[in-house]
Amino acid sequence: MKLAKELAAIALAAASATAAFAQSAASADSEYLRTFGQLMYERNGITDLKLTPEEFNVFVEGMKAARDGKALPENIQQLGPKMLDYLRARAEANMKKEAEKAAAEAAEFWKKLEKDASVSKTPTGLAYKITKEGSGDFPKEDSQVSIKYKGTLINGKVFDDGSKEPVTFSLEKVIPGFREGLQKMKKGGTAVIYVPAALGYGNNPLPGIPPNSTLVFDVELLDILPPAKPANQPAAPAPQATPSEAPAAQQAK
């Protein structure tokens, strides 16, 4: 009787574990599909259309039709070019509005920043505030740096977060404003770098970054490293030996 109870308990535990695993797998599948849907929406220009809830429902109806294998409209040859023109014009109009809005907000932001005595400004238009002095030399234009950072828009929205683990890269690989700002820091220091659109991504929108955006970076400079060696760089030729350094056997000849 006791053995039967133990076996029943083991079976119940196994069933619970199996159900939990299945639920976990289903949860993971849902996360994958949700993330895939989000990436498709963001990376294929759909975000730029600024669909209303009603328009989004119509868009989803089209996706359902494709899922169910329904044929495209018979006049797709005539409809296609007009559809593309409509989508392009709508996206461009929305981007123009976003750019104008971002430029106006940036102008107000920089006007307030001008009054902050703790903020330094460079001739290029970059602004930065050293919040903790480091020590040693400044990075050079071709230096590699190891940093922790967080990038936000002026409304506080995070567009890039490298604050958890150190990130190492060459200053030659980043936008001009970020490169210049990091060159104002010393190892061990922290700073806030304010990058105007002209030194960032300009009028070119990126996922999470509207056109004409001012970028704000909170940075900790952990280390300054030598420049990276170019890929496929040929090996340096071996130095020629002077007579006094030549092997004795050669001198004897």
Catalytic positions, please?
149, 159-160, 175, 201, 217
Q: Closest Cα to residue 194, out of 172, 216, 210, 177?
A: 216
Q: Closest Cα to residue 193, out of 185, 203, 204?
A: 185
Q: Closest Cα to residue 214, out of 115, 96, 128?
A: 128
Q: Closest Cα to residue 14, out of 2, 6, 27, 26?
A: 6
Q: Which residues contact 215 (CB under 8 A, 6 or more apart)?
A: 151, 152, 153, 159, 175, 177, 178, 194, 195, 200, 201, 209
Q: Rounded to whole angstroms, what are the CA distances from 45 to 66, 80, 92, 214?
A: 19, 17, 11, 22
CA distance linking residue 174 with residue 203, whole number of Å: 17
Give me the residue label for tokens 């950072």: 149
Q: Rounded to whole angstroms, what are the CA distances from 92 to 89, 177, 184?
A: 5, 26, 37
